[in-house]
Amino acid sequence: MKFSIILWGLVQALRVAARIYPKFADRVKERNVIAQFKLKDNSAGRWIQFKDGKIKSGAGIHENPDLALFFQNKAVAVEFLTPPFDQLARIDAAKNFKVGMEGPDELVVWFAATLTYMTTVGWKSGTDMGNGVTRYTNGTNGGPIFVYVKDGKIVRITPMEFDDDDADSWTIEARGKKFTPPRRTSLAAHGLALKSLVYSEDRIMSPMKRVDFDVDGERNIQNRGKSEFVPISWDEALDIVVKEIRRSKAKGRGAIFANTGSHHQWGNFGHYLSAFGRFTNLLGCTKMHGSPDSWEGWFWGAMHHWGNSMRLGTPEFYGTVEDCLKETEMMVFWSSDPDKTYGYEGTVRRAWAKELGIKMVHIDPYLNHTAALMGGKWFAPKPGTDAAFAQALCHVWITEGTYDKEFVENRTQGFGEWKDYILGLLDNTPKSPEWQEAETGIPARDVRALAREWSRKKTYLGAGSWGCGLGGAGRGPMGAQWARMMAILGAMQGYGRPGVNFGNLQFGAPLDFSFYFPGYAEGGMSGELTASANAANNYQRMPHIVTMSTVRQSIPRKFIPEAILEGKASGHMTDVSTVQGQFMKIGYPAPGHAKIEMMYKYGSSSLGTQMDSNRYVKMYQSDKLPFVVNQSIWWEGETKFADVVLPACTVFEHDDIGEWYNVGAGFVHHMYSMNNHRVISMQHKCIEPLGESKSDHDILLEIMKRLDMGAMYSEGGNTELDWCKRAFDSSDMSKHTTWKKFLKKGYYVVPPVSEGTRAPTGNRWFYEGRKKDTPEPYPLPADYVGDYGEGLQTPSGKFEFVATTLNNIDDSGRPPLNKYMPTYEDPSRNAELEGYTLQLLTPHTRYPFHIMGDEKGCTIRDIKDHRVRVDGYEYLVAVISGLDAEKRGIQSDDLIRLWNKRGSVVCAAYVTDRVQPGVVSAPTASAEYRPAGEPGNSTDLGGCVNMLNSSENMTEHTHSIKPNTTLIQMEKWTGVDTWKRAEAV
């Protein structure tokens, strides 16, 4: 087609759209603008004028256009403008200067978006349910949902129930029975309760400024966290932020610190790795370098025995649901409580296991939710001593000759030294059941009975919450030691043998792992190629412009307060590409880089989720941090510590797209095998943003436009809905359904593969000495010591009882031989914490997801197992034993104070037999921070129990958290606060 005809056609199309769609006519009315389309040499063109809603046009070059879109030549123009648009060609033209835009950035973005809107205005979302109700869909951290909306208001949120048009479910035949999952999604509490959070009394409804903050005068930084806020206009708020960005950039590279939490609302574009990633790359920010969080022990510890670096040191899980149901006789849940936080997709599978008569054993200081539901034998070792228990199991297997000798002989190395250690030949201490009894409190006879049953029966080891890592003891102070023992137990019983493997039925459903849909860690629209999994698939599948930050420094997440207050911080990398990646150091400041001048905080989780979080209060009140902008949806504990607050909206108030638990390549690959069905949700914009709030994406766009980077950020005016369409096109969904159908219905269930093409059972190839046959492209080819696909990622290619990669680093907490080291968070062994006689466990919360769903008017606050209301305030529940309660005159629902030298927190007591004396359990993470006195130096009534946890590394040469056990004291709360922080940071 000819250039002139296309442009003429474009004008006609604009007029038709304005005639048919009142919404488009309104859009055209928004601006009076003359836009020039032309060839670069002005040899041909057409101008289009919007004036008071009328569309005029003329051939040729206008003498005074407001903006211009120019092309290198006619061929480029024709390709660029002819539908259906070839995204790759458009990107190619844009980044190689074959096409360009002139004019004010803000206007260019508006006009480009208007042209796109012409093609999308007719799209329809949602299902008409009659009586004025539309059923939309969405995706949340707690699962995919139906959203019923009437008169612009959310009526209800429900799980998705599949219909006959949706793909079939899989069936597993085991021991004469057939098992098929329910034809619906299940929801975690924090997903089901979301309506109450949308209409929360704590929503931030307009941009806010701290009342005593003056960007041009007195900033009163010492009052952060104390002063009130006043509403300001978007213009004023953005002007302040942009002014501070300019001031910071003038100080040098990296003076803007972009600080996010680990999680966010669900969705591939709203996620912090996506829009915020693009924003921070274009801006050039010092980024937060995360630790492997809840995988700590696996990453820093277990990985050295078997590799699996791309899984953060955790084992494969493919096919384990089928193998477990068919073959297994016993399941050992070790620090393993999947029935919380993560939803209930796996719960039905465990009910099948129970129906099949598979025996269950639970090892956890707390009779956890899964144990309570499933029943079975409960062991409650003293927190931090699990490794002694595990070593005594090894002792029984070695002395009685009941380990998998063939596997140990052929697939492992270092067993001789391990055996000598266990038998006491190296240190004169046999790691016998009697020896462990003094450490763990578990009777020796029970350990013998368990060891014998374990070797006699085909046993699955469910280690950590997900059965194959994550959470539990692995994120405690002795997390590395524990996770290493889990790997070693697996090796001694020949993991990979039919019925013998890692898992608790939470992972490993027989889904289609070949069907591509991008996960959130693929970076969405970020364009970031190195710090996300973008390069693996998303970058090719959804052609978009690469972005790259020019800042080479990052701040280790654990030491953000130290970086600001002391001006330096260092740690080790969370580099999952290879085992040795974790030996690399990171540090702040980097040579030639600036110190932090402003913090762009995305979300408000730090006080609840970070250890020893009174440090954060100190940091925020220091003039070493001249400016803080916080972009949040709700007023949460940390929000008040900002100077300017930008109101983001919830996932119901903007468009997005995502698949539940699809993280993407490179970070727990195929994590969606946790689900019974792969469900891809259109995350419809169900209602208009409340108040003056905007989507994260749109807030960032406003800032970018003020820096003339709006067109770059939006890649020429893409809206969130446009990005959703691009993600749809990039995925295999586009081969099976149409965008129109998907957008309207709102979800797609990926059909399961036929039985014969299901993924093989994880680790079976290794057990049988074959080449790797599981569908993950890891380890990277260079990490095989022998031929590609042969053996593990260790230097020997074998399972290493003595981890030789740990020879590379002199870390006293991680010796190559995983010898038993008693926990220092033990009242009898920690002189520094003398007087703190109780061990506090701070596991993941059951009902909220980190701080998502906690407080701020969420209905979860009414769950008396989570919070108890006393005098109008909701206090976090701490679980304590009857004996400890009696000693202190405490009864259930009494307010109690938990404290140590780092912090002091008031909770509500729940007295129970579910913990042993000496142990208190209170979950992280609180969204509320309510200091009784001076912030940072008084008792918190909000429930930030992480204030009590140490911020030190688990072991020296790591960058690791260890929040799961710390020493505290407890008393009935008197209501009078005299606590003061013992020492400065």
157 binds other proteins (CB under 8 A): yes
Site string for other proteins, 453-492 (x = CB under 8 A): x---------------------------------------
Q: Using CB under 8 A, pick the residue from 49, 87, 127, 347 that binds other proteins.
A: 347
Q: Which residues contact 10 (CB under 8 A, 6 or more apart)?
A: 37, 46, 48, 81, 115
**Segment interacting with other proteins, rule: CB under 8 A, options 338-346, 458-466, 517-525, 574-582:** 338-346
Contact criterion met (CB below 8 Å) for 604 and 616:
no
Quick one: 108 or 363, whose CB is closer to other proteins?
363
Quick one: 153 or 552, whose CB is closer to other proteins?
153
Q: Minimal distance in Å, beta carbon 201 to other proteins?
A: 8
Quick one: 195 or 962, whose CB is closer to other proteins?
195
Q: Which residues contact 181 (CB under 8 A, 6 or more apart)?
A: 169, 170, 345, 348, 349, 509, 676, 677
Q: Using CB under 8 A, pick the residue from 71, 344, 435, 660 that binds other proteins.
A: 344
SS3 category, 325: helix
Burial of 978 (0-12, 13-18, 19+ CB in 10 A): exposed
**Segment interacting with other proteins, rule: CB under 8 A, options 179-187, 697-705, 707-715, 735-743:** 179-187
Site string for other proteins, 15-54 (x = CB under 8 A): ----------------------------------------
Residues 266 to 285: which contact other proteins by CB under 8 A? Answer: none
Quick one: 102 or 865, whose CB is closer to other proteins?
865
445 binds other proteins (CB under 8 A): yes
Dump strand ranges (E) for 508-648.
Answer: 554-556, 569-572, 585-588, 598-602, 627-632, 644-647
Q: Minimal distance in Å, beta carbon 456 to other proteins?
A: 9
Q: Using CB under 8 A, pick the residue from 237, 283, 367, 551 that binds other proteins.
A: 367
Which residue type is seen at 57? S
CA 750, CA 510: separation in Å to the nearest integer? 12
Q: Minimal distance in Å, beta carbon 132 to other proteins?
A: 13
- List C-alpha distances in Å: 668 to 185, 533, 778, 845: 21, 11, 11, 21
Tell me how many helices (H) and strands (E) the chain has.
Answer: 30, 38
Give the containing element (helix H, strand E) for 897. Answer: strand 895-899
Both tokens of 946, joined, read 């992480």
Quick one: 727 or 919, whose CB is closer to other proteins?
919
- Residues labelled catalytic: 263, 293, 520
Q: Using CB under 8 A, pick the residue from 323, 339, 404, 512 that binds other proteins.
A: 339
Q: Using CB under 8 A, pick the residue from 121, 356, 449, 546 that binds other proteins.
A: 449
How far, in whole angstroms, is CA 598 from its chain's centroid?
25
CA 294, CA 466: separation in Å to the nearest integer? 11
Q: Using CB under 8 A, pick the residue from 158, 227, 429, 830 that binds other proteins.
A: 158
890 binds other proteins (CB under 8 A): no
Query: Would you tell me how many other CB atoms lie within 10 Å of the CB of residue 552?
Result: 12
CA 629, CA 620: separation in Å to the nearest integer? 11
Q: Minimal distance in Å, beta carbon 222 to other proteins?
A: 36
Quick one: 299 or 460, whose CB is closer to other proteins?
460
Quick one: 351 or 423, whose CB is closer to other proteins?
351
User: Which of 929, 942, 968, 945 minimizes the C-alpha distance to 845?
Assistant: 945
847 binds other proteins (CB under 8 A): yes
Site string for other proteins, 405-444 (x = CB under 8 A): --------------------------------------xx
Residue 839 phi, psi (nearest 5): -95, 120
Give the bridge partners for 210, in sequence order.
Answer: 229
Residues 281 to 310: which contact other proteins by CB under 8 A? Answer: none
448 binds other proteins (CB under 8 A): yes
Quick one: 157 or 310, whose CB is closer to other proteins?
157
Q: Minimal distance in Å, beta carbon 779 to other proteins?
A: 36
| Greatest extent of the chain over all pairs of C-alpha atoms, in Å | 95
CA 318, CA 12: separation in Å to the nearest integer? 54
Written as one string, the DSSP assignment of 463-532 is ESTTSBS-SGGGGSTTHHHHHHHHHHHHHHTTBTBTT-EE--SSS-----SSS----GGG-TT--BSSSS
Both tokens of 623, joined, read 């003039």
CA 41, CA 63: separation in Å to the nearest integer? 14
Quick one: 12 or 180, whose CB is closer to other proteins?
180
Residues 697 to 756: which contact other proteins by CB under 8 A? Answer: none
Contact criterion met (CB below 8 Å) for 598 and 631:
no
Q: Using CB under 8 A, pick the residue from 8, 378, 824, 873 that binds other proteins.
A: 378
Quick one: 771 or 869, whose CB is closer to other proteins?
869
Size, binding site for other proteins by CB under 8 A: 56
189 binds other proteins (CB under 8 A): yes
865 binds other proteins (CB under 8 A): yes
163 binds other proteins (CB under 8 A): no
Q: Which residues bind other proteins (CB under 8 A)?
A: 131, 153, 155-159, 161, 182, 184, 186-187, 189, 192-193, 195-196, 199, 339, 343-345, 347-348, 351, 367, 369, 372-373, 375, 377-380, 443-446, 448-450, 452-453, 847, 857, 859-863, 865, 869, 912-914, 916
